[in-house]
Amino acid sequence: MYDKEFYEKYALASLAFFYEERHVNFFLSECPDIQNEKDNIGIEVTRGISEYSGKFSRLSNESIENNLSLEQRISRANRMFRKNFLGVIHENNALVIADPQNGEDYSELHIREIIEKIKIKTDKLEKLYKKFEWNCLYVFAEYPLKSKHIWILADLMSAENLTRYDIYFVNALDRLYVINTRDNFNFTKKKYAAAELCQFTEFAQHQQT
């Protein structure tokens, strides 16, 4: 199940390298999720997946966490997806969810999901969120996107004029891409070491209320 607080605190910890000394001025809030009044920065945190893909992730996590049997997994999948469920395949006593919508390169499909989530969050920024001088969106990717995928993402964002957020942070597991819309959607990349990733996780877990 999606743990909103964990993701927000993980995002906050991972941004220390980018904001440096200003990082101490950030605090967790709502609409947007991370705020810095002193430096006039607001950051909304989200997962870059569709509702359908989110169900896949949730089913997988629940199956592992609760050590569900194959029969329990199938029953849970049928309840979760109902008419939209596209079937299961039995393979070595495991559960595989078959989704014919997924092409050979799932990364490209995932990029489109990120674009759709950005559009949703842009609409919420316009209508609901507090505005700052720097409005930012931190997106957790579900796959290890590489620079070639981020180029595609940035080009699509530019083509669709997704400029209401000034900076997009795209967390691709072991790396963070920073896309700056004020700089023609150019991006930089920070690759994290395993020790840093552990620190982010520990911070998010230990700081939870």
Domain final position from 97, 124, 156: 97
Q: What is the pLDDT of residue 83?
A: 53
Same domain, 110 and 134: yes
Same domain, 32 and 92: no
Same domain, 78 and 126: no
Same domain, 84 and 186: no
Cis preceding linkage at 144, omega within 30: no
**Structural domain of 66:** 51-97
Same domain, 132 and 61: no
Same domain, 10 and 113: yes
Q: How many CA atoms lie within 13 A of 189 on its CB side?
A: 13
Same domain, 120 and 90: no
Same domain, 84 and 127: no
CB under 8 Å to 44, separation ≥6 — which residues? 31, 32, 33, 34, 121, 124, 125, 129, 136, 137, 138, 165
Same domain, 119 and 29: yes
Digits of tens for pLDDT over the chain (209 positions)?
A: 567 899 999 999 999 999 999 999 999 999 999 999 999 999 999 988 655 555 666 666 666 667 777 777 777 777 766 655 555 444 444 545 444 444 445 678 889 889 999 999 999 999 999 999 999 999 999 888 999 999 999 999 999 999 999 999 999 989 999 999 999 999 999 999 999 999 999 999 885 55
Same domain, 62 and 151: no
Q: What is the pLDDT of residue 50?
A: 55
Same domain, 43 and 79: no
Domain final position from 64, 97, 130: 97
Q: What is the pLDDT of residue 106?
A: 63
Dig out the tokens for 96 from the structure: 């595989």
Domain final position from 78, 97, 116: 97
Burial class (CB within 10 angstroms; exposed 0-12, middle 13-18, buried 19+) of 94: exposed
Domain containing residue 112: CATH number = 3.40.1540
User: How many domains does the chain divide into?
Assistant: 2
Same domain, 62 and 160: no
